[in-house]
Chain A
Amino acid sequence: MRYAETGYNLEIDLSSGNIEKIETDPAITELHLGGLGTNARILWDRVPPETAPLSPENLLIFGTGLLAGTPAPGANRTIVTTYSPQTLLLAYSMMGGFWAPELKHAGYDKVIFSGRSPELVYLWINNDQVEIRDASHLQGKGVVETEELIKRELEDQDIQIASIGLAGENTVYYASIEHARSSASRAGIGAVMGSKNLKAVAVRGTKDINIAQPKKFIGLCNEVLDYIQWRAENPVKNVPPILAGLGSPQEMAIHDEAWHTTAFSWGNARYRRKGFWTEEVEEEWSNIQDSAVQRLISCYNCPMKCGAIIAYPSLELSKYMMKCYSKLTYVMGAMVDDLDFGFRIAGLAQGYGVDSYTAPQVMAFAIELYENGILTDEDLPDFPPDSEGRFFYLLEKIVHREGIGDVLANGVYWAARQIGKGAEAYDSNTIKKHEQIPIKLSMLNPIFFLLHSTGEKINITQIEGQLPQAPFPEKEDREEFVKDWIQAPSENIKDFFVKWEPRGEYAFPYFPDFQTACELVEWQETMHYIDDSTGICAGLSSFPIKPPYHIHNLPTLISAGSGLEVDKEKLWNKIVKRNRSLLRAINSRRGLRRKDDRPPEDHWKKRFPEHEAKLLDEYYKFKGWNEEGIPTRETLKSLDLDFVGEDLEKRGIYNHGQSEKES
């Protein structure tokens, strides 16, 4: 018997229509856990590095986390892995909701799509009965409508559906895969789904998920719930309200947006508006939000309420479900001070299925180009005079790939190069060709420098965590903070936090020492790699400060749930390191080198090129990578990945690019 996982994958060849249920090798679970880890292994094994992301040869893998669907609170994540049409590297975007548990109950850990269907289709998984069905009637339909139509067609309200909108069908490079209140939005995985002519994946399952050590496992789950309750009554002090609790930032419940609106940049990641959040704005925005939010909702088996059902009279659309930060991204990108606009355009954009981080950035970029004469009235016929109108205009052009929209649909990096005429200079906020959240700060943060530069998720909002983003000014507050900091991985990290000051000897950028900086980065990264493999939501684990899941209880939870023998040492230094190195190797094989490991140029005003180069050197060394950021043969061998090192060597990847070293 397999525990926590089902031990079966579904293989769907969309070209031939062939469907197979394949038993998986337990040894692979032991090596990579599940979710991202096993997804990456499949991608390495089966998709050669020269594969074009939108070709039938690319795989689109929907993987459930190892613990997804078990009673572990918040273990509900689906990890979608493929090659990105935008970054051309490995993409792994994830979603919460109810889809992963349903797939597990249907009896599968993953659905692996290959090929390309001749016509638009959707997949219907009903326990053992799996069929590819015609989706021509769903063509061009929004994701909310698509879900409703499929549920009605199959006569079951409990079906869980992941689908793409028009943006995915038209292979917009930042098309999302949407599901209920969640979405896997980043890096254009919706475009890969569209390229396969796959509109949706509908799932219903009624089988058991088994637990290896039931009493121990449920005991840990109860502890997690207790801690969540305790944290609800004990928010972290000395941080903005939006960062004080658990979950992803409670955007739907919290009205205080001082932190986002004044610390993040508006427009094309250009303008800080430090005086924006006034009492009048707060009152107006609170009223709008209260009338828009009908109910706060959660994902499967999670007590948090990070999402909401959005419905209010001025909304010209059907209702939709919103999560997190998307209420602000369009508002801030468009420089529109009205939250009402945010709710209206986010609903429309979600229906089309575009990433709410990237889409507003691309639109803000286009407006800048227009204002600077690089795009003209010829490119933008009948372009409205107001930002609000312009955003609606651009959204339509992009999702239909119409006119200039066909270029903008490829994202800022590619559009800038296609447009030329100096447009590249306006590509101010991408990492590895991917748009980032618009944060422009002053002093270089060495920890974030490494996380942003080297992270394979290529998404700076989802790689941080657990460490407060800024030091507390008062020493006694810092000492107070570490007293019950049970999540800290070591005494060294606690010492760092107590010493860390806003200014002076113990301040950024030269503090902390390289070793500690590397430890801090690796710790935060490790927590995310665990979540991305177990399917536990980062909102209860790797993302917030003082979460219920942490490095000291996760190994036991994984063992008790899955029956794998895992302790902290093995989880961190073997499994996570193995997965981390494998992801890096996949990207090395796709051409990723040191020169790509960099944040947006003006992410910090104060940069320190020599120190940054040294940081990268030290971090690469710490990870067992060479000076180009490629995992060495020895490193890979020590992680049971010698076949990976052998392949890199055979392809000459270790011999290229050494003279191109940049800092």
Chain B
Amino acid sequence: MAKVKKKVKVINIDLEKCNGCRACEVICSAFHAPEKYSLNNPARSRIRMIRKPLDDIYLPVYAGEYTASECMGRDKYVIDGREYDECDFCRASCPSRDAFKEPDSGLPLKCDMCEDDPAQEEPLCVKWCLSDALTYEEREEEVEEEEEQAQDLTQEEMEKGLKALADKYGLDEVANSMARMLKKE
């Protein structure tokens, strides 16, 4: 199978260097404002600081995928004596918390590495992090070409999803829903 080169963008996060200033939140929300830099608001930021100063927890987290449902279990991590919730590390925009949602619409936010128009040399959170808690790196990785597989994969994914629904609601219920949807179209 053919190999292709793919550019991977990496933000390295060094928690020890973070001074907790939240400049990353400020500049992210300003850059992604409808008119660039016309407003700022950490509540709209795609990077959020989890800050518990007296526990020495300073953790920048980036917005990732949207998920419609929250996790069943919540784990706790203890790292060097500091206690983190699993959610502290989670990038998802999810129903269990306010982070990574547009405050007005509730629509999910996701970090785009500042590839927005015009694309920036590096994500602006990195540029504004003078403490170097955030640094940026680009590297190339070789990946297998996926073109051929795309069709099969979609089908496989879909069947997996339908099976989960069938397990939960029964195959009949799923089939009925499908029929109703087809009718509407």
Contacts and interface: CB of A to CB of B under 8 A. Distances in A.
A208 B39 contact: yes
A297 B20 contact: yes
A207 B54 contact: no
Interface in B83-112: 98, 103
Interface in B28-68: 30, 33, 35-44, 50-54, 56, 58
A228 B38 contact: no
A415 interface: no
A165 to B, nearest CB: 16
Contact of B58 (A158, A210, A295): A295
- Of B26, B52, B131, most buried by chain A (CB within 10 Å of CB) is B26
Contact of A209 (B40, B98, B129): B40
A73 interface: yes
A319 B45 CA distance: 30
A295 B55 CA distance: 11
Contact of A211 (B23, B39, B43): B39
Interface string A313-341: 00000111100000000000000000000
A217 B37 contact: yes
- Of B21, B30, B33, B41, most buried by chain A (CB within 10 Å of CB) is B21
Nearest to A69: B40
Contacts, number: 97
A157 interface: yes
Interface in A120-161: 144, 148, 157-158
B136 interface: no
A564 to B, nearest CB: 17
Given A71-B40, A206-B103, A209-B39, A297 B53 contact: yes
A157 B54 CA distance: 12
B36 A300 contact: no
B19 A71 contact: no
A298 interface: yes
A25 B19 CA distance: 37
Contacts of A296: 19
A401 to B, nearest CB: 29
A181 to B, nearest CB: 7
Interface residues of A, number: 43
B37 to A, nearest CB: 4
Interface string B121-148: 0000000111100000000000000000
A584 to B, nearest CB: 35
Given A303-B23, A303-B130, A305-B131, A180 B53 contact: yes
Contacts of A148: 54
Contact of B37 (A69, A211, A225): A211
A492 B22 CA distance: 40
A294 interface: yes
A309 interface: yes
A93 B23 CA distance: 25
B75 to A, nearest CB: 19
B40 A321 contact: no
16 contacts: A69-B40, A181-B53, A206-B103, A209-B40, A210-B39, A211-B40, A214-B37, A215-B36, A225-B128, A225-B130, A298-B19, A303-B130, A305-B131, A309-B53, A309-B56, A320-B54
Question: Closest 10 interchain pairs by CB?
Answer: A303-B130, A214-B37, A206-B43, A208-B39, A298-B21, A298-B19, A218-B37, A214-B38, A208-B41, A301-B23
Interface of A: 69-71, 73, 98, 105, 144, 148, 157-158, 180-181, 206-211, 214-215, 217-218, 225, 228-229, 232, 294-303, 305, 309, 311, 318-321
